[in-house]
Amino acid sequence: MPPLAIRAYTATSALGRGLQAHADALAASRGGLAPNDFSFAPLACWIGRVAGVEDAPLPPELTEWDCRNNRLAWMALQQDGFADAVRATRERYGAHRVAVLLGTSTASIGATEEGYRRLDNGNMPADLHRPVLHTPHSLAGFVAAAFELEGPCLTVATACSSSAKVFANAERMIRLGLIDAAVVGGTDTLCDSVLFGFNSLELVSPEPCRPFDARRNGISIGEAAGFAIVERIAGVADAPLLIGYGEASDAHHMSTPHPEGLGAELALRDALERAGIEPADVDYINLHGTASQKNDEVEAALVARTFPASTRASSTKGFTGHTLGAAGILEAAITLLAMRDGRVPANLGATQPDPLCGPQMAWHEESKPIRIALSNSFGFGGNNACLAFAHAEHAA
């Protein structure tokens, strides 16, 4: 496929606000997980919480959209000059030629949960009587409204692959000439649905998560927001590139990955093929690596049998927690930072490697030029995505 330029990108997570906070934490191998203090009845687990969301209401003109998820999205949009880049894109192409394609797993369900905690005679309380919040489309609706964008506006809600798959949606629409640019990305925030939901499935670790550790025992849930602007490469100098993507389904089980990683491998092959590259061309893979037993087992085996030892691989969920629908964009941003800075992030949290892991695993931070990198995202329902990125000169 013709590569696309990533004109701007940003991320906000438990590691801090914006790209520099992430680069600093990754360089220092300093994680952001902390004991859970979220909700009125906190579970005994660790979470990746973004500091200060409670104290950052939306500007007055956007009050209708105010909730934790949209606050975090807004906070992230203010970093790295991203909001100005969106406005410049709108000016350049026109509001109707710019799409808003965002991924989330729970959108602003936290606001719906809150409404149910303080019902008013069985009804949503007056201050939360805002239908725009009580829908999975809240996030994308908010971003489109905040920037007055009038192109296609879509929410992808395929659980943990959501905000990776939006790069594919954008590529198709740009290639077909439906749009000139897209704001892609996603946001997911801590809420009772995910904390108690994953707890009910016995997938939450009581400790900070340890991806690919032989003694790993579950995920740590985090929250994050990230965004990118993608467009044709003509006219964008020195931007990193999206060179491929792959999407596939496991067709196996709603909450357990295919035992041989079939869907994950199909997504990987699709991404390599669209990018026109071989496994040996890949310098770094940001793994899905949730620290759940099955996911890591399947993914470790896939990497070990597919890539040479020169390909480096790590999960960064030990830094940020599993940010669910925002994991795709957060880890895409981390992958782009790894390429920018020539640093392979550590696989934080693991001290006793799972023997299934191959020599590709980067247990500790490494310095290495990264020209081509992949980012894996696998979701509930067996919904898999793989993104392929390259340095600007790859297009030449």
Partner 1 sequence: MSAALSVWVSGIGLWAPGASTWDAFRDVVSGGAPSGASERPVADVLPPNERRRAPESVLLAAAAAGQAVRMSGRDAATLPCVFASAHGDQVITDYMCQTLATAPLELSPTKFHNSVHNAPAGYWTIATHCHASSSAVSGGEQAFGAGLLEAASLAVADDRDVLLASYDIAGSGPLGAMTSTTGPFAVAMVLSPRAGGAATRLDITPERGNVGAEPIGDPWLDGLVASNPAAHSVPLMHALALMRPTALRVPAARGLDLHIDIGVAA
Amino acid, single-letter form, for residue 295 = N
SS3 138: helix
Give the interface size with partner 1 as a residue count (CB under 8 A): 72
Token readout for 281 is: 């061309």
CA pair distance 192, 43, nearest whole angstrom? 10
Residue number, 224 or 266, with CB nearest to partner 1: 266
Q: What is the number of other CB atoms lying within 10 angstroms of the CB of residue 123?
A: 10
Measured CA to CA in angstroms, residue 376 lies from 12, 220, 313, 364 at distances of: 19, 18, 11, 19
Q: Are 157 and 136 a contacting pair, CB within 8 Å?
A: yes
Q: Out of 18, 31, 32, 141, name the contact with partner 1 by CB under 8 A.
A: 141
Cα–Cα distance between 78 and 84 in angstroms, integer?
8
Which of 69, 108, 155, 375: binder of partner 1 (CB under 8 A)? 155
> Under the criterion CB under 8 A, does residue 150 sit at the interface with partner 1?
yes
| Binding status of residue 126 toward partner 1 by CB under 8 A | no
Give the whole-angstrom CA distance, residue 109 versus residue 118.
Answer: 14
The Cα angle at residue 120 between residues 39 and 114, in degrees rounded to 5:
20
Residue closest to 322 by CA, chosen among 227, 140, 194: 194
Query: Of 291, 99, 109, whose CA–CA distance to 188 is shortest?
Result: 109
- The residue from 30, 96, 215, 364 that contacts partner 1 (CB under 8 A) is 96
Q: Is 244 in the site for partner 1 (CB under 8 A)?
A: no
* Out of 14, 33, 143, 156, the residue judged to bind partner 1 by CB under 8 A: 156
Kindly list the catalytic residues: 160, 288, 322
**41 near partner 1 (CB under 8 A):** yes
**Candidate list 62, 78, 136, 395; residue touching partner 1; CB under 8 A:** 136
Return the residues of window 373-392 that contact partner 1 according to CB under 8 A.
Answer: 379-383
CB of 19 to partner 1, least distance (A): 28
- Assess 44 for contact with partner 1 (CB under 8 A): no
State the nearest-atom distance from the C-beta of 151 to partner 1, in Å: 7
- Tokens representing 340 are 């920018």
Q: Are 271 and 245 in contact (CB under 8 A)?
A: yes
Among 115, 186, 226, 345, interactor with partner 1 by CB under 8 A: 115
Strands (E), 250-308: 284-286
**Of 165 and 210, which has the nearer Cβ to partner 1?**
165
Q: Are 338 and 22 in contact, with CB atoms under 8 Å apart?
A: no
CA gap 362, 386 in Å, rounded: 19
Closer to partner 1 by CB, 110 or 345: give it.
110
What is the number of other CB atoms lying within 10 angstroms of the CB of residue 92?
A: 14
Instruction: Choose which of 66, 80, 180, 192 interacts with partner 1 (CB under 8 A).
Output: 192
The correct pick among 59, 61, 126, 176 for binding partner 1 (CB under 8 A) is 176
Stretch that binds partner 1, among 76-84, 128-136, 207-215, 294-302 (CB under 8 A): 128-136
Task: Check binding of 137 to partner 1 (CB under 8 A).
Answer: yes
Q: In this chain, which stretch among 25-33, 75-83, 153-161, 222-230 interacts with partner 1, using CB under 8 A? A: 153-161
- Region of 74-82, 249-257, 343-351, 360-368 interacting with partner 1 (CB under 8 A): 249-257
Q: Are 311 and 146 in contact (CB under 8 A)?
A: no
196 lies in the site for partner 1, by CB under 8 A: yes
Residue 157 or 362 with smaller CB distance to partner 1: 157
- By CB under 8 A, the residues from 262 to 301 that bind partner 1 are 262-263, 266
